[in-house]
Amino acid sequence: MINFKEIKENRLSETFKKKGYVIIKLDDIKPLEYLRNSIIKNISKICKISHPEKNEEEYFLNNFHKNIKPIKLNEYRLKIINSINRDNNFKKNYFLSSKNVLYDLVGNELSMQTRINLSIQIPGDRTSLLPLHSDIWSGDSPFEVVAWIPLVNCYDTKAMYILPPKYYKKVEKNFSKFSGNSSEEFFKKIKKNIEWIKINFGEILVFNQGLPHGNIVNKELETRWSMNCRFKSIFSPYGDKKIGEFFEPITLRVASEIGINYNLPKIK
């Protein structure tokens, strides 16, 4: 196959294939600041918590668990999700934060998941876990990637984990040994090989959602706030989640638009 990609694109692609993810530090964090400020405004309104002073945003989010009743956590999360997904500027800034790396890894004609997801994981909470899974196993297309954006610094059990490609290949070859297990048993069998993602606010993670990943109970003393959204090439194959239902085109190019709408003239 001919490869006309630039050196930077090739390096990024090789890292993505080898590690299963890339972490990019953004030069311009204005889109991320829009996302975080929007989330904080919603928290203040929905949870009735005083808005933090400037430069206190991370402290406010890290210590969120001290200001709420854990039993109401999912109620708050769903209300915040509904609010941000009604804001088209939120979606646009989410895309803009990830645009350059998505163009390099996926292409410049993209479909975006219609709803952005929000994860709030307070210390010790067992109700917000995402057990070991691969999105493809539940019907997603292998042509998708996930853009995962932290609103606070994430590390150790305050972050997510992923099974690197070289270990997943071993699982794939002997999948019958794992497939009958519960998620917890599956996790125990691969635990020594997983990689915990360390990422700070101001950085974004794009990962291969076909690799097993998840989280465990947050044993740190801070609340985790992160968002995730899937992206794929508009014209690549879709899984169970279709365009117009789960995905929407966001960067369709004019040549494609003309081609889609073109009809051969009729000869009477």
Q: What is the pLDDT of residue 171?
A: 86
- Tell me if residue 73 falls in helix, strand or coil: helix
Q: What is the pLDDT of residue 128?
A: 84
What is the per-residue pLDDT across 158-205, written as a single tens digit (0 to 9) for each? Answer: 999 999 999 999 888 888 777 666 888 888 889 999 999 999 999 999
Q: What is the pLDDT of residue 87?
A: 96
Q: Which residue has the tokens 């009604």?
A: 86
Q: What is the pLDDT of residue 183?
A: 83
Arithmetic mean of pLDDT, 134-148: 95
Please give the Cα distance from 75 to 85 (Å, whole number): 16
What is the per-residue pLDDT across 26-69, written as a single tens digit (0 to 9) for each? Answer: 999 999 999 999 999 999 999 999 999 989 999 999 999 999 99
Q: What is the pLDDT of residue 173?
A: 85
Q: What is the pLDDT of residue 179?
A: 66
Structural domain for 154, as ranges: 13-234
Q: What is the pLDDT of residue 185?
A: 85
213 is a domain residue: yes
93 is a domain residue: yes
Output DSSP code: residue 264: P
Instruction: Please state the domain count of the chain.
Output: 1
266 is a domain residue: no
| pLDDT at position 266 over 80 | yes
Q: What is the pLDDT of residue 200?
A: 98
Query: Tokens for 162?
Result: 């992923």
- Tell me if residue 103 falls in helix, strand or coil: helix
- Tell me if residue 46 falls in helix, strand or coil: helix
Q: What CATH number is attached to the domain comprising 152?
A: 2.60.120.620
What is the per-residue pLDDT across 71-86, written as a single tens digit (0 to 9) for each? Answer: 999 999 999 999 999 9
pTM of the predicted protein model: 0.94
32 is a domain residue: yes
90 is a domain residue: yes
Q: Which residue has the tokens 């390099």?
A: 104
Per-residue three-class SS string for 203-251: EEEEECCCCCEECCCCCCCCCEEEEEEEEEECCCCCCCCCECCCEEECC
Torsion of CA 75, 81, 86, 87, to 10 degrees: 130
262 is a domain residue: no
Q: Which residues contact 127 (CB under 8 A, 6 or more apart)?
A: 70, 73, 74
